[in-house]
Amino acid sequence: MSFTKSPELEMILRTMREFVYTEIVPLERPFLNHDYDTLMPLIAEKRQKAKDLGLWLPQIPADEGGMGLSLVEHGYVSELLGQTLLGHIIFNCQAPDAGNMEILIEYGTLAQKQQFLQPLLAGEIRSCFSMTEPENPGSNPTWMSTTAVLDGGDYVINGHKWFTTAADGAAFAIVMAVTDTAASKHKQASMIIVPTATPGFQIVEKTSVMGERGYGWASHCEIHYDNCRVPRQNLLGSEGMGFVIAQQRLGPGRIHHCMRWIGICERAFDLMCRYAVLREVAPGRTLGSQQTIQNWIVESRAEINSARLMVLDAAHKIDGAGSYAARDEISIIKFYVAGVLQKVLDRAIQTHGAMGMTDELPLAYWYRHERAARIYDGPDEVHKRSVARRILQRYA
């Protein structure tokens, strides 16, 4: 692998791997069985341990209390954490908190940082990001109905959101709302921090997604904002910056997702290989002796390798030249890696037969919930279109 790892990174990864496979993977069972009473104290315990090991907040700069990794380095870390259903939550780098931390660091006032960022970094609270609306296509971030109107020193927010991930139990939401309908398309919306205890912030329900309503950070809420009033000081950045901040949030966010997906792929690949050498289709003849299974294994290996190289390459470019310079690469890995993920999971399930359908393994969970990988943060089609148009513009 040509994106070489420093000895320090190698050591971090070794420690993490040990931690992940020894202590976190066993927590998958209560999670998959919706046994949150068992699960939540264990998560709290492992989070403390992650802190103690100095592995807390891998994606955050050192001066904010994180590990201070480059994006390429975090790529390796995130891939490792992605190998278990609970990796990111335990190291406090899960979506949507990770993205919220980033924009609070970048745009937050001192007061906002003290009130919202500090406890988030400490893992004392969780947050959510409230952007997608059921009535408007998420693929078109400039088309939004939620409004925030200044009234005295307050914003009064009205609107209807859904797929606000992790709202259940969150301390605050960062809400995207239109503050100026007269402005140009990309300057109409702003980001506003809304504590969930604010009157008018109303969770309609945890949406049933792929048969499950989930729990806490692993759920998606439908929310009504009903004359929800917050002080003007809760504006993030300045008015009209909603779109810009959203884009900035999404750039590295997509990289984080891609890295995590590669971790999922590696775990699925590992499970597939283990099962292939173990399971007999006839006495003495293993699944792995079947050429069809061999094809799935090697094709998965090829695709995962290609996906990782592309993600690291994009991370490398972002580290060097920023998200904007790498926007084609980011869009390409967004749909490409999501596609690899779906294929690899599908093969891993088929290899496991009936077992692959069950919740004995995390495969079925990823199969159903990561189907959304091709949808959230811009569906495949939107990313493809953007890149293709930019390419063709160079030829026009």
Q: Omega before 195 cis (within 30°)? A: no
CB of 261 to a copy of itself, least distance (A): 15
Cα–Cα nearest to 94, from 123, 117, 61, 133: 123
The answer to whether the CB of 330 falls within 8 A of the CB of 314 is yes
Q: Least separation, in Å, of the C-beta of 204 and a copy of itself?
A: 13
88-125: b or e for each residue (b if 16 or more CB lie within 10 Å)?
Answer: bbbbbbbbbbbbbbbbbbebbeeebbebbbeebbebeb
We find the least distance from the C-beta atom of residue 17 to a copy of itself, in angstroms, to be: 17
Distance CA 140, CA 197 (A): 29
Structure tokens at 224: 């009504």
Residue 124 Cα to chain centre, angstroms: 19
Q: Which of 245, 264, 311 is nearest to 99 (CA)?
A: 245
Compute the least distance from the CB of residue 371 to a copy of itself, in Å: 7
Between 137 and 231, whose beta carbon lies closer to a copy of itself? 137
CA–CA separation, 354 and 346 (whole Å): 13
Task: Work out the number of other CB atoms within 10 angstroms of the CB of residue 61.
Answer: 13
CB 315 within 8 Å of CB 72: yes
Closest CB to a copy of itself among residues 242, 288: 288
Residue closer to a copy of itself by CB (options 60, 310) is: 310
Output the smallest distance, CB 6 to a copy of itself, in A.
15
Burial class for 331, CB neighbours closer than 10 Å (0-12, 13-18, 19+): buried
CA atoms within 13 A of residue 183's CA, in its CB half-sphere: 16
Phi and psi at 175, nearest 5°, equal -105, 135
Q: Which is nearer to a copy of itself, 212 or 226 (CB)?
A: 212
- Between 180 and 212, whose beta carbon lies closer to a copy of itself? 212
Closer residue to a copy of itself in complex, CB, 196/300: 300
Least separation in angstroms between CB 299 and a copy of itself: 7
φ/ψ region of 235 (left if φ > 0, alpha if ψ in -120 to 50, else beta) reads beta
| Least distance in angstroms from the C-beta of 301 to a copy of itself | 6
**CB 140 → a copy of itself: shortest distance, Å?**
6
Q: How far apart are alpha carbons 224 and 393 in whole angstroms?
A: 41
Q: Which CB sits closer to a copy of itself, 136 or 158?
A: 136
Cβ-based nearer residue to a copy of itself, 151 or 360: 360
Least distance between a copy of itself and beta carbon 265 (Å): 14
Residue with tokens 């949150």: 36
57 or 74: CB nearest a copy of itself: 74
The radius of gyration of the chain from alpha carbons, rounded to an integer in Å, stands at 21
Our CB check for a copy of itself shows the closer of 34 and 47 to be 34
Gap between the Cα atoms of 333 and 215, Å rounded: 29
- Least distance (Å) between residue 200 CB and a copy of itself: 24
